[in-house]
Structure 1
Amino acid sequence: MKQTFMKISLVLAFVMCWNVISAQSDGNNAITTAAPFLNINPDSRSGGMADAGVASSPDMNSQHLNPAKYAFIDGEMGVAISFTPWLRKLVNDINMYYASFYYRLDKMQTVSASLRYFSLGNIDFTDESGNIMYSGKPNEFALDAAYSRVLSDKFSGAVVFRYIRSDLTNGYSNGGGDLEAGNAFAADIGFYFKQPLRVDRKDAEISAGINISNIGSKISYDGINKEYIPTNLKIGAGYQMELDRYNAIAFNLDFNKLLVPSNQIRPDDADEDWVDPNKDKSVPAAVFGSFSDAPGGFQQELQEITISAGLEYWYNKQFALRAGYFHEHENQGNRKFASAGAGLKFNMFTLDASYIIPLVQNNPLGNTMRFSLSFDLSDMR
């Protein structure tokens, strides 16, 4: 079972492309959590802008980045589905499936829901001798519902409630009952602000957004040890402008930080039973302490922030081109990539696709594509 757990851990490490085998001598101290699939962006539109979008204009997939945007969405009802083949440079059967739905109750209130399902593909579970004991398909999923409300003509807020299930062993047990599916509950809170402008007699808008996601219980796979889920802070700003009757551009900039404890450096004189003291913190203490607990001080706290910048161009509100850049510090995982995307909008549906272009060698995220299909069901009300 020990070997089985190590194999699953390696899969999860590849999933999030973090170098979790920390070489502290060279400064690598990447943060890891349980259920990292919660922070994989399933949306192709924001994916084309390197995951920037907490303050972008509202769309049908706003549930993931900032559900507060639903309060200002133009339609009355809609549904979207997304598919992401994950880590195709490494394996061919890890996939993310995502579906979202929103419904406007009235001009002030909107409700929404989403389901994400993450399949880790086929995994052979082996004993300590390497003999295959069981073949399964571990998976994780999250189901959530949200309520968003207009708080003023320029400001909105939203809350999300989420159930999380992470089944890394797919029911397999070697008789010792060591591992089981983990369950957790979490909540998000988000806010969105927009301000229309006139620039050179052209319509424009600035926007800002903040979303704190996955504020919730720890998760356990053995009933004893508990791990943090990826509580996350995303804050950003956006600017969009109509160049003329047919052309419009938008720019988005996001900053992202995990609100979980930084890994502490093991003292040279520590005994073999040493445990990172941050692992025993309560969730509230971990969230508030995450801004000042890095062993490298304020410099490391800044290194834990990732940056996403994205540009979007629309022609005649029907065809879109997107590009972006994502930056993560070398000591925190070194994910650096550019992105490209496109969208095609018809009367009732929109098709979006995005593509990741790695900027560092041996990046498992290279050549990752996302696909989203959105349906405007407003006419059905």
Structure 2
Amino acid sequence: MNFSRKKAVFAALAAGVFSLPAKAQISSFRDSLLGQINTITTAVPFLQIAPDSRAGGMGDYGVATSPDANSIHWNAAKLAFVEKNVGFSISYTPWLRALVNDINLAYISGYKKLKDDQAIAGSLRYFSLGNIDFTNDNAEKLGSFNPNEWALDFAYSRKLGENFSGGLALRYIYSNLTGGIAIQNNTIQTRPGRSVAADVSGYYNKKIDLSNKDAILAFGLNISNIGAKISYTDTKAKDFIPMNFRLGSNLKVDLDSYNTISFGVDINKLLVPTPPVYWKNSIGSDSLDAAGNKVIRAGKDPSNISPAQAIFSSWSDAPAGFEEELKEFTYSIGAEYWYDKQFAIRAGYFHEAATKGNRKYFTIGAGLRYNVFGLDFAYLIPTTQRNPLENTLRFTLIFDFEGLKKEAAEE
């Protein structure tokens, strides 16, 4: 063996030997990251709350369920397949009822079919955070304010084929959390946050035969809240709104002329940056570079990422890699049973990884339909941490305008 070949062999062996501890350290570091809590936070999280009691009774699952007046939130594309020409609903959700009595979410939504293959819809979502007293650093009262947030939506849905439809929703978002109060010793003036966003959705359903029973298999996709970052001050600091990817399926089976059952699953993932892990100094604080910026140890810097870039980079930016990305998916499983299209019972389960928020809960619900009016109820049962909806009953009131016309005609 000549000298140059010996050098190559020695270099290869040395690289293999010394890389073993390095690989072990990297693996150990990634394992430690997987065990750390690294939740993704956004501005205006009220946009992610299930607004209606039907979906709320099925584990917050609804992207591929049969269309109704609340479809604009879950998947506007479904409205092209809605059976009735007009629908309207009002929903009310108490929030943190075990602690306070003045925080709630109100939701109004409705649709109108233009033709057999087209529909338009609109909704208003209002989130009140109750009355809050503001104080300065010396605990002196500065005043009181009722923070509130709302979003106004308009949607259009159209069939693109016999079994497929597409939908587009536009959204204006307003968030006033401070009432214009100044912060940091009156050096920074706050203001309401404003943003605009859009949803792009698709829906597919097909009638099938399942063991000699009529059934409908459906799939839904909704990429929601695609929009600009939001800010509450005149500084450069801006926060992402909750851009979200939702994919799901639903199977509805007519057991006989009176009994119908459906069940399915939704998968969700936020399309915003995952917080990176920063280097720490000897006292446990974040290490800073010469410019005063935190030094990233793992992950990607989210500060210079645009919303358009985040939609794509959010699939591969977790500090612990692919395993952590998988933990960022949440899962909703739900089922619904109808008797004679007049009485329904529902159940569902929602799962989120412990290091990404640890929301895990069962839900139950019921529905009633009688001529012009209908009522839906939902109740949440947490299995891990306490939940803002724990021990609260939320409800949705549904109006059937065609039923009203029919009732008037009979008189």
The TM-score normalised by the length of structure 2 is 0.84
- Tell me how far apart the structure 2 counterparts of residues 268 and 347 of structure 1 sit (CA, whole Å): 64
1:355 aligns with 2:366: no
Report if aligned partners of 1:343, 1:353 keep a CA contact under 8 Å in 2.
yes
Give the corresponding residue for 1:228. 240
Give the corresponding residue for 2:20. none
Paired letter, 1:69: K
Tell me whether 225-234 or 354-363 shows the greater mean CA deviation. 354-363
Give the corresponding residue for 1:257. 269
Give the corresponding residue for 2:171. 162
SS at match of 1:164: strand
Give the corresponding residue for 1:14. none
Give the corresponding residue for 1:308. 332
Tell me whether 327-336 or 172-181 shows the greater mean CA deviation. 172-181
Structure 1 residues without counterparts, runs of 5 or longer: 1-22
Q: For 2:63, which of 54, 61, 65 is the aligned residue? A: 54
Give the corresponding residue for 1:193. 204
- In structure 2, relative to structure 1, the CA distance for the partners of 1:219 and 1:380 (3 Å cut) is farther
Paired letter, 1:217: A
- The Cα of 1:92 is off from its aligned counterpart by 1.7
Give the corresponding residue for 2:293. 273
- The Cα of 1:26 is off from its aligned counterpart by 4.5
Q: For 1:208, which of 219, 225, 243 is the aligned residue? A: 219
Cα displacement string for residues 84-110 of structure 1 (whole angstroms, at most 9, x for unaligned residues)? 001212322110000001011111110
- Tell me how far apart the structure 1 counterparts of residues 110 and 399 of structure 2 sit (CA, whole Å): 10
- In structure 2, relative to structure 1, the CA distance for the partners of 1:197 and 1:29 (3 Å cut) is same
Cα displacement string for residues 254-309 of structure 1 (whole angstroms, at most 9, x for unaligned residues)? 00000000010112252163277212201111110000000010111110000000
SS at match of 1:301: helix
- Tell me how far apart the structure 2 counterparts of residues 26 and 299 of structure 1 sit (CA, whole Å): 11
Give the corresponding residue for 2:284. none
Paired letter, 2:275: N
Give the corresponding residue for 1:95. 104
Cα displacement string for residues 14-46 of structure 1 (whole angstroms, at most 9, x for unaligned residues)? xxxxxxxxx979510000000101111111001
Give the corresponding residue for 2:321. 297
- In structure 2, relative to structure 1, the CA distance for the partners of 1:49 and 1:25 (3 Å cut) is closer
Give the corresponding residue for 1:219. 230
- The Cα of 1:170 is off from its aligned counterpart by 2.2
SS at match of 1:220: coil
Structure 2 residues without counterparts, runs of 5 or longer: 1-31, 282-286, 407-411
SS at match of 1:280: coil
Show the 5 A alignment for 1:134-173. Answer: 134-173=143-182
Aligned residues: 359
Report if aligned partners of 1:122, 1:135 keep a CA contact under 8 Å in 2.
yes
Report if aligned partners of 2:34, 2:320 keep a CA contact under 8 Å in 1.
no
- Tell me how far apart the structure 1 counterparts of residues 399 and 278 of structure 2 sit (CA, whole Å): 52
Cα displacement string for residues 327-356 of structure 1 (whole angstroms, at most 9, x for unaligned residues)? 000000000000000000122221101000
- Tell me how far apart the structure 1 counterparts of residues 260 and 329 of structure 2 sit (CA, whole Å): 30
Give the corresponding residue for 1:31. 40
Give the corresponding residue for 1:368. 392
